[in-house]
Structure 1
Amino acid sequence: MSSPLPTCPACHSSNVVKNGSIHNGKQNHKCKNCGRQFVQDPQNKIIDEATKRLIDKLLLEKIPLAGIARVAEVSEVWLQQYVNTKYQQVERQVRVSPSKKGRLTVECDEAWSFVGHKGNKQWIWLAINRDTREIVGMHVGDRSRDGARALWQSLPPLYRQCAVAYSDFWEAYETVLPSQRHRAVGKDSGQTNHIERFNCTLRQRVSRLVRKTLSFSKKLENHIGAIWYFIHHYNASLQL
């Protein structure tokens, strides 16, 4: 004879059904009244620092959160909370190695992404130093002049003073970037090859940017945090 189902810890309803298993194989339940999911007699698991370091590395690879939870043997609920906190704390400003005042060349481009559904487009504006390959500017927003302006403002002051910026013919660049230091070029010119290559790297490494995926972002804050997290890692790796 099967054991009776537990009552919901949130609303104390007995209208409860079995709802699969959690990562450790324990029976999961769902309350049909309030929607709360829970396990009977839950036991808190202390996540050690080694596991957290592993998760930090896995977040830099094209792996969905459900896959990371399976590999690290943590619950998806805990992992989502950990990721939320981590992405909230990520610095929203580039860390760029010092450059001497003089000739600086940057390449600019924007990449399409979305949050929640494909109708909610979020454009990733990027600028790369052609010589060092560092990302020197980034902004996530719409594809208007405001987006181009935010990208330009995200560059370190020295770049805004001295750099020559190459971009495609998107009109937002021409109306925002200083005309004497902006060069609009076609993709066949090769002048924006490095930033286009980085866009490809970004899509290959950040799972929520893959066009056909179930790992897309549901929260804009996490979307932006994940991109910044990867960019900081990428820039730091160039110094190794």
Structure 2
Amino acid sequence: MNCPKCNSNNIRKNGHRRGKQNYQCKTCGRQYKHEFHSELGYSKKVKENCLTMYLNGNGFRAIERITKVNHNTVIRWVRQTENQLPDSSNDHQIPQVGKLDELQTFIGKKNKIWIWTALNKDYSEILEYVIGDRSAKIFEELWEKIKDWNCYFWITDGYKVYPKFIPDGDQIISKTSMTRIEGENSRLRHYLARLHRKTFCYSKSKEMLFLSIKLLIYYLKEKNLSTIIRG
């Protein structure tokens, strides 16, 4: 059992309210009724429905309003998928020509952060990504994941960081050839409420943003979540 506010498992029973068991968290003091602690009783179908809603543009609070499932429960279900998701780097064809781009979003309401993405020129699927600031140090994390692809060429926009890592003669700067990867970045914005422009939804942690993107990439490829949801 975990507290819906601070996720602590330091919980004690605290009487009954309206015939239902009441609990209190010893860590933060939050009191809540049994109904908030009943995710183990939800069916696999309900979990899949809530997660599918999340991956189709609904925020956690919106899912709660529609399904009556507490938003903290849905957040836990998202986190539970982490160990079930396959490693994307082991499940794709190494591209001959790669594309690189960066997408700006926020952690909190004001802290800018970038999602650096890489994909195959011929397919609409993000193969690798990292999250951080727009510095060479963060791009280097992505480069370490993809440099062994040994692509003939890398297509990028004109951002100054790329030539520091891409060998001379292997970079093609072409805004018109960036359509596919920019389209994939737009799909991230479309499917995840936390990436929408002018939205009340936003990421509170880089870890949750990273997992949400990983889960979305899996969903867009497999078209369902049934194999990674615990019953």
Identity %: 26
* RMSD over equivalenced CA pairs, Å: 3.1
**How many residue pairs were aligned?**
204
Per the alignment, residue 180 of structure 2 pairs with 194
Per the alignment, residue 92 of structure 2 pairs with 97
Q: What do the CA deviations read for 1:11-30 (whole angstroms, capped 9, x no partner)?
A: x8xxxxxxxxxxxxx9x9x9
Deviation at residue 184 of structure 1 after TM alignment: 2.2
Deviation at residue 125 of structure 1 after TM alignment: 0.5
> Alpha carbons of 1:89 and 1:174: their partners in 2 closer, same or farther (altered >3 Å)?
same
What SS is found at the alignment partner of 1:126? strand
What SS is found at the alignment partner of 1:139? strand
Per the alignment, residue 125 of structure 1 pairs with 116
Structure 2 CA distance for aligned equivalents of residues 141 and 92 of structure 1 = 20
Per the alignment, residue 180 of structure 1 pairs with 169
Per the alignment, residue 143 of structure 2 pairs with 152
What SS is found at the alignment partner of 1:97? coil
Aligned letter for 2:191? Answer: R
> Alpha carbons of 1:151 and 1:193: their partners in 2 closer, same or farther (altered >3 Å)?
same
- Are the equivalent residues in 2 in contact too, given 1:64–1:215 (CA < 8 A)? yes
Per the alignment, residue 18 of structure 1 pairs with none
Equivalence map 1:110-121=2 (5 Å): 110-119=102-111, 121=112
Q: Select the residue among 30, 40, 57 that pairs with 1:36.
A: 30
TM-score, normalised by the number of residues in structure 1: 0.72
TM-score, normalised by the number of residues in structure 2: 0.75
Q: Select the residue among 99, 116, 121 that pairs with 1:107.
A: 99
Aligned letter for 2:143? Answer: W
Per the alignment, residue 164 of structure 1 pairs with 153
Q: What do the CA deviations read for 1:86-115 (whole angstroms, capped 9, x no partner)?
A: 34654564454335xxx7122211000111
Unmatched runs of 5 consecutive residues or more in structure 2? 1-10, 15-19, 224-231
- Are the equivalent residues in 1 in contact too, given 2:51–2:78 (CA < 8 A)? no
- Are the equivalent residues in 2 in contact too, given 1:62–1:204 (CA < 8 A)? yes
Unmatched runs of 5 consecutive residues or more in structure 1? 1-8, 13-25
Which has the higher Rg, Structure 1 or Structure 2?
Answer: 1
Deviation at residue 35 of structure 1 after TM alignment: 6.0
Deviation at residue 40 of structure 1 after TM alignment: 8.1
> Alpha carbons of 1:62 and 1:41: their partners in 2 closer, same or farther (altered >3 Å)?
closer
> Alpha carbons of 1:94 and 1:43: their partners in 2 closer, same or farther (altered >3 Å)?
closer
Structure 1 CA distance for aligned equivalents of residues 140 and 36 of structure 2 = 50
> Alpha carbons of 1:94 and 1:208: their partners in 2 closer, same or farther (altered >3 Å)?
farther
Per the alignment, residue 230 of structure 1 pairs with 216
* Mean Cα deviation higher: 191-200 or 36-45: 36-45
Structure 2 CA distance for aligned equivalents of residues 98 and 203 of structure 1 = 25
